[in-house]
Structure 1
Amino acid sequence: MLHHEATTFRGAHGLRLSADRWERPGSRRGAVLLLHGGGQTRHSWNRTAHSLAEDGWQAWTLDTRGHGDSEWSPDGRYTLDDFTADLYAVISQLDTKPVVVGASLGGRTALAAEGERPGTLAGLVLVDITHRTDHSGQSRVKRFMTGAPHGFASLAEAADAIAAYRPGRPRPRSLDGLKRNLRRREDGRWYWHWDPRFLGPTADAGYYSPERLDRAARSIAAPTLLVRGLHSDIVTAESAAEFLGLVPTARQVVVPTGHMITGDDNDVFTAHLREFLTRDLR
Structure 2
Amino acid sequence: TAMLTLGEEPPLPCRGLVLVDVAPRLETKGVRRVIEFMRRHPDGFDSLDQVQDAVAAYNPTRKAPSNSQGLRKNLRQDANGRLHWHWDPAFLDHAVIPEADEGMFGRARLNRAANRLKLPILLIRGHHSDVLSEAGAQELLALVPHAKYRVIGQAGHMVAGDRNNIFTGAVLDFLQHLDPQCIHIRSTDRRLTP
Q: What does 1:201-216 correspond to in 2, within 5 Å?
A: 201=94, 204=96, 206-216=103-113
1:191-228 per-residue CA deviation (whole Å, 9 max, x = no partner) reads 22322110104x64854322211110110010111111
User: Is 1:246 aligned to 2:176, yes or no?
Assistant: no
Q: Which residue of the partner structure matches residue 139 of structure 1?
A: 32
Displacement of 1:148 in angstroms is: 0.7
CA 1:280–1:191: 2 relative to 1, 3 Å: closer
Residue type at the aligned position of 2:107 = P
In structure 1, stretches of 5+ residues that fail to align are: 1-108
Q: 1:269 aligns with which of 154, 159, 167?
A: 167
Q: 2:63 aligns with which of 167, 170, 174?
A: 170
CA 1:113–1:151: 2 relative to 1, 3 Å: same
Specify the SS of the correspondent of 2:46: coil
Residue type at the aligned position of 2:164 = N
Specify the SS of the correspondent of 1:252: strand
Q: Which residue of the partner structure matches residue 258 of structure 1?
A: 156
Displacement of 1:190 in angstroms is: 2.3
Residue type at the aligned position of 2:46 = A
Is the CA contact 1:115–1:220 (under 8 Å) kept in the aligned structure 2?
yes
Aligned residues: 173
1:214-251 per-residue CA deviation (whole Å, 9 max, x = no partner) reads 11011001011111111111111111111111113212
Q: Which residue of the partner structure matches residue 192 of structure 2?
A: none
Structure having the larger proportion of residues in strand = 1
CA 1:243–1:281: 2 relative to 1, 3 Å: farther
Q: What does 1:70-149 correspond to in 2, within 5 Å?
A: 109-117=1-9, 119-120=11-12, 121-149=14-42
CA 1:192–1:271: 2 relative to 1, 3 Å: closer
CA RMSD of aligned residues (A): 2.2
Is the CA contact 1:182–1:191 (under 8 Å) kept in the aligned structure 2?
yes
Write the distance in 1 (CA, Å) between the matches of 2:56 and 2:104. Answer: 28
In structure 2, stretches of 5+ residues that fail to align are: 97-101, 181-194
Is the CA contact 1:118–1:221 (under 8 Å) kept in the aligned structure 2?
no
Displacement of 1:255 in angstroms is: 1.0
Is the CA contact 1:128–1:234 (under 8 Å) kept in the aligned structure 2?
yes
Displacement of 1:161 in angstroms is: 0.7
Write the distance in 2 (CA, Å) between the matches of 1:207 and 1:148. Answer: 27
Write the distance in 1 (CA, Å) between the matches of 2:110 and 2:64. Answer: 35
Specify the SS of the correspondent of 1:231: coil
Higher relative contact order (Cα pairs below 8 Å, separated by 6+ residues) = 2
Residue type at the aligned position of 2:40 = G
Is the CA contact 1:223–1:281 (under 8 Å) kept in the aligned structure 2?
no
Displacement of 1:186 in angstroms is: 4.0
Is the CA contact 1:136–1:233 (under 8 Å) kept in the aligned structure 2?
yes
- Identity of counterpart residues, as a percentage? 45
Is the CA contact 2:25–2:139 (under 8 Å) kept in the aligned structure 1?
no
Q: TM-score, normalised by structure 2?
A: 0.79
Q: TM-score, normalised by structure 1?
A: 0.56
Is the CA contact 1:225–1:250 (under 8 Å) kept in the aligned structure 2?
yes
Specify the SS of the correspondent of 1:200: helix
Displacement of 1:167 in angstroms is: 0.8
CA 1:175–1:216: 2 relative to 1, 3 Å: same
Displacement of 1:143 in angstroms is: 0.5
